[in-house]
Amino acid sequence: MSLNYDQAIEKYEPTLGLEVHVELNTKSKMFCGCATEFGAEPNTQTCPVCLGLPGALPVVNKTAIESSILIGLALNCSIAPFSRFARKNYFYPDMPKNFQTSQYDEPICINGFLDVEIESDEGNKVFRIEIERVHMEEDTGKSLHVGGSTGRIHGAEYSLLDYNRAGIPLVEIVTKIVPNTGKYAPQVARAYVAALRDILRGLKVSDVKMEQGSLRCDVNLSLAPSGSGELGTRSETKNVNSLRSVETAVSGEIVRQANRLQSGEKIVQETRHFLEESGETRPGRSKEKAEDYRYFPEPDLVPVVPDNKWIDELRKTLPEKPADRRKRLQSEWSVPEKEMTAMVNAELLDTVEETVKLGADPTKARSWWLGEISRIANERDVVATELISVTAVAQIINLINQGELTDKLARQVVDGVIAGEGTPAEVISKRGLKVVSDDGALMKAIEDAIAAQPDTAERVRGGNIPAAGALIGAVMKATGGQADAAKVRELLLKHLGQ
Amino acid sequence: MSIRNSAAEMAEALAKKEISAVELANQHYAQIEAVDKDVHAFLHLDKAGALAQAESIDKKRAAGEKLSPLAGVPLALKDVLVQKGVPTTCGSKMLEGWRPPYDATVVAKLKDAGIVILGKTNMDEFAMGSSTENSAYGPTHNPWDLTRIPGGSGGGSAAALAAFEAPLAIGTDTGGSIRQPAAVTATVGVKPTYGGVSRYGLVAFSSSLDQAGPCARTVLDTAMLHQSIAGFDPKDSTSINHAVPDVVAAAKKKDVKGLKIGIVKQLSGAGYQKGVENKFNDAVAELVKLGAEIVEVSCPNFEYALAAYYLIAPSECSSNLARFDSMRFGIRIGDDGSKGAEEVMNLTRQVGFGREVKRRIILGTYALSSGYYDAYYGSAQKVRTLIKRDFDAAFEKCDVLVSPTAPTTAFKIGEKSEDPLAMYLNDIATIPVNLAGVGGMSLPCGLADEDNLPVGFQIMSPAMKDDRMYLVGGALEAALLSKWGKPILDFAPRLAGSK
Ligand SMILES: [Zn+2]
C-alpha cells in the first residue's frame, strides 16, 4: 500500500534547499560584448570569446556585477570585499570552452535571508529562508538532439548547437537548508520562489520569465523520520520552471521518497528531471560518484573588489521591498489579500498603481485591468498594457465615477480605444455614447414599461421589489443601454410608491 | 641595404625611399626560399597578405602620410598568435587547417604599425617544449649548426632572425620560450612584464604565465618592436593600465654608470656549462668597466621554481586545452556517423595532440584533482608567492638582476627528446621571471669556448620597469660589439644558398 501526501508527511520530516538560476537582463553577455536578446536566429549573437575560440579572453561585464550586488543587498547579504571567478572543468558540447567560468568558493554575496509568508491552518505564517550565497556564472549554449526517441544526446542521430545563450550572465542564489517546514514545504518553496521573483522584478535586473527559462529553480529535498532530527539523503530536481511546478515537485518528491523509505529502499543521491506534463520526476545522473570539476581560480580574470562607496551608492538605489510595497498598497487601497495576489500574479500591480495615481478608484482600476482588459488581452494573446494605455483606462474610470458612463457604455469605450478609434473622449463622441440622465426622458420610458407590463408593476407596488428587475430591463432596452441603471431603479421604485 | 641590416636601418632606408617595402619583403622571401628548406623556421608564408600590406605602406609613404617608425619592415610571427584568415596551428596537428576569424591584439597592433607579417613560425606544440622538436610539423634547425636545436618553444622565430629570414619576430614566453631560443641562436628576445603586452589572441598554454614579446637581432630593434606591441588592452583583463616605459630611449642611452646589478647566486654552478659561465662572467666584467656596481644576491626559493612551474603550467594547460574537442574548429577524426561525441573527441585527441602535450594535460589534470589540489596546485601557488618575495627583496638592493639565460648552449636534435626532465632543466634560469611576472631579456654575450656556440645573457627587471633591461642590454651590446669588431651573427657559418 502506498502512502499519500498526508501519510507521508506524518511519518517523515522534509528538509528543503533551493537553488535559483536567474538570467540577468544585461544588454551584453557576461564576458563579451555580444547581445543577449531572446529568440534571435541561432548563432547570430556570438564572437570569439563566447564561442571559446583559441586565444580569446573574457572581460567581466560591470553591469552584471552591479546587478549581483543589488540582488545581494535586496536579500540582506554581506557583499564580499574580494571575490573571484573559478573554472569548473567538465565536458559538454554546448559549453564552448569545456569549462564554465563561475564563482566557486569566493562568491560575491553571502549570508542573507528572505522572509516569506504562507497561509497556514492557523492563519498567515512567516518562514525565514536563509541565503547561503549569491554567485555569478555564465550560461551554456543550447543543444537540440535530433533523431532518436528520447530527445537526449544518447541515441540521437545528430545534435544542433546554438551558442546565442552561451555566456549570458547568470546569478545563482542558493539557500541554506530550510528545516521545519513540515507539511507546508511545498507552499514555502513556492512562496520563496515567488518572493524572489518579485524582488528581482523590482530590481529590474532580470526578466524573471520562468517559461522562457530566465528564472530556473532546482529543488533539493530530503526526508528524515519525524522527530529523528536526522538529515536524509537528498535528491536534486532540476529545471522546475513554474511556480506551480515548484510546489508539485516538492510534494511529489516527498511522496516518492517517503514510499521508497517506507518499503525499505534507500534514497539515491541523484539529479532528477522534472516532467512538466505529469508533475513527476525521472532520474538523471547519479551523484554517488561525485564529479570532479577540478576547480581553480580563473587566471584570465582579476578578482572582483567592489569598494564600499560603490556598494553604498547601489544600496541607495534599492527599490521598496516587494513585500513592504504590497502591504502598503493593500492597506491604502483596502483590497482583500486574494485580489492583491491576483494583481501580482497577473503582473499588473505596477499598472494598477499607475492608474490609481491618475485619479482612478483602486477597486475599479483593479477590476478593469484584471477583468475586461485582461480578458481581451488573453483572447488576443497579448499583454494587457499593449492594448490600452494607463491614461485611457484612468480617464474611463473617472468618467464612470462622474456618472458620465455606465459600466456597459464604458466597455464600448474600451472596445473603441482598443480598436484604434482614438482617446476615450473621441470614442464617446464618435459613437455617441452618452448616459441618458434627463429625468423627463427616463420617466417617459418608465411609464411605457409600466403600461406594457401592468401585472409586474402591480407586484412591485405590492412589495415584491425583485420583480422590478424586469421593468428596469425594459427601460434599459428602450434607452439603448445608455441610461444609468441605478437611476432608473430609483425613479421606477419611487413612481411605484416603493 | 641588405637583409643582414638591423630593422632600425631598414626603417631608415625605407623612410629615405632607398628601398620599397615590397622590395624589402621580396628580398626576405628570396632568403626564405633559399635557406628555409634547411632551417624550417616557417610553417606558413602569407606572401599575398604581406605584399599587399607592403604595397599599401609604399603608397602611403609616396603620398606623404606619416607612418610608424617600423612601417614596411618585415616580421615573422610565432604560430601561436591568431591572424585573421591565416592558418594558425600552434605547431599542432589539432589545429591543422584552422583559419582564425579574428586578429590577436598584437597582430592588430603590428598591422596598424605598418609592419609586414611574412608568415607564421614553427614552435613546440602549444608552446610546450624547449627545442621546437615537439612541433607536429618537424623540428626547426639552429642556423649556427643545423644538427642542433634552435631552442623552444619559439625556435622558429629565433631561427628566422639568425638566418636573416626576417629582421623582427614575435615570440611568446611562458617559461623561457622567447629568451632561451634567443640565447642559443645569438639573437635578442624580451619577455615583457606580465600584462605589458596583450594576451588577447595568444592561444593559451598557461594563462598566468604566458606573455608575448619582441625578438630581433639588436637591442634597439627589440625595443622598437616592444614599443609597437605593448600597452593596455581592454580585451585582456590581466593587461596593465599603465604607460609603457620608454624602452626605445633606454636602448639608445648606453649608460649604466652607478647602476646596481645583482648576480643571482642560485642561477649558476651545478648544471651550468663552463663556457656559458665564462662568457657570462666576461660580460659582467664589461658592465663593471662601464661603471656598473655588482651586487651578489640570494634568491633561496628559486630552487623550487621548476617544480612549481611544472605544476602550475600543466594545471592551467589541462583546462585551456579542453576546448580542443573537435566540435567547432580544427581536425575531427572518426566522425563516420556511428560514433558518439565523446568517442570522436577521444579519437581526435589521440591523433591531434603530441606526446608532450598529452603528458602535460595528464599531469595538470592530476594536480587539480580533488584531494590533490592543495598538495600540488595550492603549494605551487605558495612557492610562487615566495619567489615573488625573493625578487622584491633582490630589487630592493639592485636595479636589475642578471644570470646566464640557459645553462647550456644548443644541444643536438634528438639528444634530450627521450628525457623530459633533462629538457625541463633548460628553463631553470628563465622560469622564475614568469612565476613572478617580472621582465626578462636575453642578449648574446659570446660563444662558448668548448663548442663555439652562442651564450645568452639574461637581464631581469622589476615589473613595469622594462626600460631597465633595455638600458643595461643596450650598453652591454655596444661594449661587446666594439670588443668583437663585428656583430656576433657574422661569426656564424654561412647557410647554403644564403643571400
Ligand atoms: Zn560573444
What is the end-to-end Cα distance of chain B in Å, rounded? 12
Q: Using the predicted structure, report yes or no on whether residue A103 has a pLDDT greater than 80.
A: yes
* Predicted pLDDT of residue B230: 98
Q: How confident is the model at residue A478 (pLDDT cuts 50, 70, 90)?
A: confident
Chain A residues within 8 A of B208 when measuring between CB atoms: 299
Residue with cell 636573416: B164
* Predicted pLDDT of residue A270: 87
Q: By the 8 A CB rule, do A132 and A175 touch?
A: yes
- B196-212: average pLDDT: 98
pLDDT, one tens digit per residue, over A204-235 is 999 998 888 899 999 999 999 998 888 899 99
Chain B residues within 8 A of A98 when measuring between CB atoms: 322-323, 325
A52 vs B90: CB contact, 8 Å cut-off? no
- Test mutation, A90, A163, A292, A294, chain B, max B CBs within 10 A: A294
Of B130, B135, B177, B206, the active-site residue reads B177
* Predicted pLDDT of residue A168: 96
In this prediction, what percent of chain A has a pLDDT beyond 70? Answer: 97
B328 vs A96: CB contact, 8 Å cut-off? yes
CA distance A302 to chain B (A): 6
* Predicted pLDDT of residue A50: 97
Residue A32 Cα to ligand 1 middle (Å): 5
A302 vs B237: CB contact, 8 Å cut-off? yes
Q: Using the predicted structure, report yes or no on whether residue A494 has a pLDDT greater than 70.
A: yes
pLDDT, one tens digit per residue, over A253-307 is 999 999 999 999 999 888 898 887 787 888 876 655 568 999 999 999 999 999 9
Q: Using the predicted structure, report yes or no on whether residue B15 has a pLDDT greater than 80.
A: yes
The answer to ipTM > 0.90 is yes
Is B78 annotated as catalytic? yes
Tell me the residue type at B436: A
Q: Using the predicted structure, report yes or no on whether residue A437 has a pLDDT greater than 90.
A: no
Residue of B nearest to A87 (CA): B319
Whole-angstrom Cα distance, residue B338 to residue B344?
Answer: 10
Backbone angles phi, psi at A298, to 5 degrees: -65, 110
Residue of B nearest to A291 (CA): B370
Q: How confident is the model at residue A475 (pLDDT cuts 50, 70, 90)?
A: confident
In this prediction, what percent of chain B has a pLDDT beyond 70? Answer: 100
* Predicted pLDDT of residue A428: 87
B81 vs A55: CB contact, 8 Å cut-off? yes
Q: Using the predicted structure, report yes or no on whether residue A461 has a pLDDT greater than 90.
A: no
Whole-angstrom Cα distance, residue B276 to residue B449?
Answer: 8
A56 vs B201: CB contact, 8 Å cut-off? yes
Select the highest-mean-pLDDT range: A211-220, A329-338, A430-439, B437-446.
B437-446
Q: Could you name the CATH architecture of B5-300+381-489?
A: Alpha-Beta Complex (3.90)
Residue of A nearest to B316 (CA): A299
Q: How confident is the model at residue A383 (pLDDT cuts 50, 70, 90)?
A: confident
Mean pLDDT of chain A: 90
- A87-101: average pLDDT: 93
* Predicted pLDDT of residue B283: 98
Q: Using the predicted structure, report yes or no on whether residue B404 has a pLDDT greater than 80.
A: yes
pLDDT, one tens digit per residue, over A146-190 is 887 666 667 778 889 999 999 999 999 999 999 899 999 999 999
pLDDT, one tens digit per residue, over B67-87 is 999 999 999 999 999 999 999
Is B92 annotated as catalytic? no
Does B113 lie at the interface with A, CB-CB under 8 angstroms? no
pLDDT, one tens digit per residue, over B312-353 is 999 999 999 999 999 889 999 999 888 888 899 999 999 999
Q: Using the predicted structure, report yes or no on whether residue B409 has a pLDDT greater than 60.
A: yes
Map residue A211 onto helix, strand or coil: helix
* Predicted pLDDT of residue A380: 87
Q: How confident is the model at residue A462 (pLDDT cuts 50, 70, 90)?
A: confident
Is B498 annotated as catalytic? no
- B434-463: average pLDDT: 98
* Predicted pLDDT of residue A153: 67
Mean pLDDT of chain B: 97
A55 vs B200: CB contact, 8 Å cut-off? yes
* Predicted pLDDT of residue A468: 85
* Predicted pLDDT of residue B11: 98
pLDDT, one tens digit per residue, over B145-198 is 999 999 999 999 999 999 999 999 999 999 999 999 999 999 999 999 999 999
Whole-angstrom Cα distance, residue A198 to residue A205?
Answer: 11
Chain A residues within 8 A of B331 when measuring between CB atoms: none
Q: By the 8 A CB rule, do A444 and A396 touch?
A: no
Residue A54 Cα to ligand 1 middle (Å): 13
Sequence-ordered list of residues with C-beta below 8 angstroms from that of A149, at least 6 positions apart, any chain: A155
pLDDT, one tens digit per residue, over B244-275 is 999 999 999 999 999 999 999 999 998 999 99
CA distance B62 to chain A (A): 36
pTM for the whole thing? Answer: 0.88
Domains of chain A: residue spans and CATH: 5-310 (no CATH), 320-431 (no CATH), 439-495 (1.10.10)
Neighbours of A215 (CB within 10 A): 24
